[in-house]
Amino acid sequence: MNDASTQHISVMLDRCIELLSPTILLNEKPVIVDCTLGLGGHTEALLEKFPTLTVIGIDRDQIALERAGARLARFGDRFKSAHAIFDQIGEVVAAQGISQVNGVLFDLGVSSIQLDEVERGFSYSQDAPLDMRMDRSRGITASEIVNTYAPGALVKILRTFGEEKFATRIVENIVKARAKAPLNSTQELATLVKESIPAATRRTGGNPAKRTFQALRIEANDELGAISRALPVALDLLTIGGRVVVLSFQSLEDRIVKEIFVERSTSKTPRNLPVELPEFAAKFALVSKSGETPTEEELARNPRSASVRLRAIEKVAA
């Protein structure tokens, strides 16, 4: 097993620290919640830079928590961890006896540890059981989804979460295959998807199974639902001057983040009034008007950052 600190490069690390620094420096004993702890790269950098900071790290993946815990043990009680889905942020923070935090970081999507460990079933390029659960102790597997969902529900998942144009054709072939024997293998599914897509279309856009695997992963882990539930709670936990920073890796995630941030940073004062009414004024302000993308230097160092979009918001009023 590789050491966690050497096998993982945290995405847009310097920019995340830069965005969280103002709220950390404003407070004597700041608290940041890392809602997607993973292997602990962002948390480690924050704890090293700010000696009075406490970080609460949340992750649904028990293996990630174990590895991050070993990596961050040297920080003692300045690091606290919780095995939870990040939409439980309110309960996790309350369990620490805290009512407000100074910042929250979300690094969305599948983590390096999940992609790199073949047996987890996230990869379409190597054979493994069709699992895809971020928390292997609970929840529905991708195999159960493929083998038990009604055809109409499968088509909707592939179209909505994978933006797959050939969803109907893929599902027709899934239904035929599962009638003979359950689909339990990543390679078996990847081959079926490839054969379902016209040859001319397969020549561009990378592995044709990518969109189907993304859709099944999102469904298995209720990823978009968790984001929609977690972000409003995270915003409500902030102190004045506190910030939420979100790294999204695909358009469906980013759209949810953008919509929630825009809604919270928009005044509710009726348009026909000549002045802003304090009770209707926005309590949040966007740190940047549009999503940020990685630098060329970062892309060269970490190709996995290619699809990332970063958004940040600050609480400006009680």
Residue 8 has a pLDDT of: 59
Instruction: Name the nearest CA neighbour of 38 among 77, 17, 10.
Output: 10
Q: Are residue 192 and residue 230 in the same domain, yes or no?
A: no
Question: Is 178 contained in some domain?
Answer: yes
Instruction: For residues 248 and 301, state if they share a domain.
Output: yes
* Structural domain boundaries, residue 188: 139-221
Residue that is last in its domain, among 188, 221, 254: 221
Co-location of 93 and 42 in the same domain:
yes
In a domain, 302, yes or no: yes
Q: Is residue 34 part of a domain?
A: yes
Do 32 and 46 lie in one domain? The reply is yes
Look at the chain and report how many structural domains it folds into: 2
Q: In this structure, are 217 and 178 located in the same domain?
A: yes
Q: What is the pLDDT of residues 133-145, one digit of tens each?
A: 988 878 899 999 9
- If asked whether residues 275 and 143 sit together in one domain, one would say no
Is position 127 within any domain? no
Same structural domain, 20 and 86: yes
pLDDT in tens, 186-233: 999 999 999 999 887 776 667 888 899 999 999 999 999 999 999 999
Residue 151 is part of a domain; what is its CATH number?
1.10.150.170
Q: Do 217 and 235 fall into the same domain?
A: no
pLDDT digits over 64-84, tens only?
Answer: 899 999 999 999 999 999 999
CA distance 245 to 176: 44
In a domain, 125, yes or no: no
Regarding whether 66 and 15 lie in a shared domain, the answer is yes
Enter the tokens of residue 276: 């802003």
Q: At what angle do helices 210-221 and 151-162 cross, to 10 degrees?
A: 100
Whether residues 102 and 230 share a domain: the answer is yes
Angle at 120 between CA 185 and CA 70, to 5 degrees: 170
Say if 249 falls within a structural domain. yes
Residue 43 resides in a domain: yes
User: For position 240, which CATH number holds?
Assistant: 3.40.50.150
Has this prediction a pTM greater than 0.85? yes
Domain boundary at 193, 221, 249, which? 221
Q: Does residue 84 share a domain with residue 154?
A: no
| Spans of the chain below 50 pLDDT | 1-7
* Tens digits of residue pLDDT in 287-299: 987 888 888 888 8
Please work out, in degrees rounded to the nearest 5, the angle formed at the alpha carbon of residue 77 by the alpha carbons of 72 and 79. Answer: 40
| Angstrom distance (rounded) from CA 53 to CA 77 | 10
* Rounded CA separation 187/301 (Å): 30
Domain end residue (candidates: 190, 221, 252): 221
Q: Are 293 and 217 within one domain?
A: no
